[in-house]
Structure 1
């Protein structure tokens, strides 16, 4: 009887985690659009003046696109992770809750950087720290799952190494972008656009070893 209770307490399915992840990502990615806002213009403006006011929004649109791109990559990688993570426990759930806390913070840090990223280093630091912490916790999520045997029993060692390498991309890029923020401000964030390229390189490297 005690063994069955221990089994229920310590081992849980991953479906509830994946459902929560999908919900938080859907909300966070939707709220990102609020960082753009609509320009407050006078109705007496000419058509050209109105177009100029719209053009002013392009840095905010770029930040929106970038954050959406990053979150979409995060969601996709999470889907890949949980293809191999077959079991859960209270600690893994706690790790994911802290990770989702940082994901839900993305609309806030995106609005900060879209509004002040071109003028204040602090705005860029807030954005980079948000992504850096999310990336570190996400890496630890996979490391812990492998360490505690929560992954599939027949998982290949190359897959374990590949996932670890992929999960290091965002933290490394965040550190680089954080350093570049002191020199090129919000432009440093463009480095994240290269993340899918590095992901493909890593995937090809380990697939060629198979």
Structure 2
């Protein structure tokens, strides 16, 4: 007599969302530490203070880019969990892998401003963002596997299009990582392609779904 397969164990979606939101919030807050720990030197006049702040422009730029992209990753997470009805252990660990790279973002951001003359200083931040986006997309792909076994009914019906934003972020992250040794922080301009690429991937998925239904 064949043994019955044990029923899968599911966990609270709300708890995982709260934990993820907290990690994103802490990572975004820690980004500013690189600015607050910067030494301005001896300041005696307003002109010297403005000059010292102007010399910090690489740090301000790194902070702004990282904060904007981190907010973009959180926005993708927000959209994903809108369609996730339940969480299993695999999704928990895929999400944990994403958060591993999220909490590293303040550290790799500091490398850009302090060691931008070295390849590693320019490459580690875009590589960091790439893996954070990749594990975010893999989380969605797992939730959507087996005809959407972890999704709400509405999200399961839109599987071909709902993952387009996460996949676009992965592609843009890969382009930024490849371009960063030569372009430095300008390689992050690849993320400007995220919106058009998401729209393109959604249209392609809709055409394929329509062709399969006909």
Q: What's the TM-score, normalizing by structure 2?
A: 0.83
Equivalent residue pairs, number: 202
Partner Cα separation in structure 2 for residue 201 and residue 67 of structure 1: 25
Q: Deviations over 1:156-199 (max 9, x none)?
A: 54x31222221112221122112222322222123324434544
Any gaps of 5 or more consecutive residues in structure 1?
none
Alignment RMSD: 2.5
Partner Cα separation in structure 2 for residue 198 and residue 63 of structure 1: 24
The 8 Å contact of residues 39 and 54 in structure 1, kept in 2 or not, is answered as no
Greater relative contact order structure (CA < 8 Å, 6+ sep): 1
The 8 Å contact of residues 39 and 53 in structure 1, kept in 2 or not, is answered as no
Residues 187 and 92 (structure 1 numbering): CA distance in 2 closer, same or farther, change over 3 Å?
same
Partner Cα separation in structure 1 for residue 93 and residue 16 of structure 2: 10
Partner Cα separation in structure 2 for residue 195 and residue 115 of structure 1: 28
The 8 Å contact of residues 160 and 202 in structure 2, kept in 1 or not, is answered as no
Where 1:75 maps in the other structure, the secondary structure is: helix
Any gaps of 5 or more consecutive residues in structure 2?
none
Q: What's the TM-score, normalizing by structure 1?
A: 0.84
The 8 Å contact of residues 160 and 206 in structure 2, kept in 1 or not, is answered as no
* Bigger shift: residues 61-70 or 195-204: 195-204
* Bigger shift: residues 21-30 or 126-135: 126-135
The 8 Å contact of residues 122 and 185 in structure 2, kept in 1 or not, is answered as yes
Partner Cα separation in structure 1 for residue 69 and residue 145 of structure 2: 27
Instruction: Select the residue among 144, 156, 161 that pairs with 1:146.
Output: 144
Instruction: Select the residue among 129, 134, 150 that pairs with 2:127.
Output: 129
The 8 Å contact of residues 84 and 155 in structure 1, kept in 2 or not, is answered as yes
